[in-house]
Amino acid sequence: MSNSSAFPDWHGTTILAVRKDGKTVVAGDGQVSMGATVVKGTAKKVRTLAGGRVIAGFAGSTADAFTLIERLEAKLEQYPEQLARACVDLAKDWRTDRYLRRLEAMLIVADKNQIFTVTGVGDVLEPEHGVAAIGSGGNYALAAARALVDVEGLDAEAVARKAMGIAADICVYTNGALTVEVL
C-alpha cells in the first residue's frame, strides 16, 4: 500500500505574505478539510518566532510543519538577525536529512525586510513584488494581492485581508477565518 492511499486526502490552506511601505503581513486561513468534509475551520497556521521578529506560515501536514518550524527556530537562534541564512540552512537540512526530506509541508517565512518561500526540494525563494503565497488557494491569493498591492490607500494588512477574502471566495479549501500577523 502506498503512502498516498494509507492517509486521508487532507487539503485546505492558503498562506499569503505581503510587504508594503515598510510593513510585513502574513495571513493564513483556518480551514482544514479531509476530502469534501471540513474538519476544522479555525486552525492557526501562522506563528510568530524569534521573539516576535519573524513570522512563519505553513501549508501541508501540520505535524511536519511544526517539525520544520521548530528547526527554523533553532536556526534563527544559531543565526540571529540573519533570516536568509537561517532559511537556506533549513532548506539544506530539509533536502539532505533522511528524516526531514519525507516531511510534506511548505513554509512562508518573513521578517520586517524579507519574505521567503521555503520548500523541501531546497528552494528558498524571495518574491520579486513583495508578495508570496502557498497552499491550495495560494495562486488565487497571490494574483489578488499582486493586483491590489499598488492600490493607493491600501496598506499591507488591507491588501492581505482583501486578497485572502478573494481566495476564500474561489477556493473551496480556503475560508475567511484568518490569522493575521504584522511586523
pLDDT per residue as tens digits for the range 130-176: 999 999 999 999 999 999 999 999 999 999 999 999 999 999 999 99
Measured CA to CA, the distance from residue 63 to residue 148 in angstroms comes to: 33
Highest mean pLDDT: which range of 32-41, 100-109, 118-127, 151-160: 151-160
Q: Report the pLDDT value the prediction gives residue 2, as an integer from 0 to 100.
A: 40
Strands across the sheet with 105-110, in order?
46-49, 54-60, 105-110, 115-118, 124-125
CA 79 → CA 35, 112, 121, distances in Å? 40, 16, 22
**Is position 24 annotated as part of the catalytic site?**
no
Q: What is the spatial order of strands in the sheet that 14-20 belongs to?
A: 131-135, 14-20, 23-28, 179-182
- Whether the CB-CB separation of 15 and 58 falls below 8 Å is answered with yes
Mean pLDDT, residues 100-106 taken together: 83
Q: What percent of the chain has pLDDT over 90?
A: 74
Give 50-88 pLDDT, tens digit per residue: 999 999 999 988 888 899 999 999 999 999 999 999 999
Is residue 8 predicted with pLDDT exceeding 60? no
Banded pLDDT at 97 (limits 50, 70, 90): confident
In this prediction, residue 6 has a pLDDT band, given cuts at 50, 70 and 90, of very low
The larger pLDDT score, comparing residue 7 to residue 37, is at 37
Alpha-carbon gap, residue 100 to 90, rounded angstroms:
10
User: In angstroms, rounded to a whole number, what is the distance separating the alpha carbons of residues 12 and 180?
Assistant: 17
Question: Mean pLDDT score of the chain, rounded to an integer?
Answer: 91
- Which CATH number does the domain 3-175 belong to among 3.40.640.10, 3.60.20.10, 3.40.50.2300, 3.40.50.720? 3.60.20.10
Q: Bridge-partner residues for 56, per DSSP?
A: 47, 109
Q: 5-37 in b/e burial notation, b at 16+ Cβ within 10 A? A: eeeeebbbbbbbbbbbeeebbbbbbbbbbeeee
Q: List, in order, residues 6 or more apart from 178 with CB less than 8 Å away.
A: 27, 28, 29, 30, 161, 164
- Whether 33 contacts 48, CB under 8 Å: no
Q: What is the per-residue pLDDT for 122?
A: 87
pLDDT of residue 115: 98
- 11: cell is 487539503
The catalytic position among 13, 24, 117, 174 is 13
Parse the chain into domains and list their residue ranges. 3-175
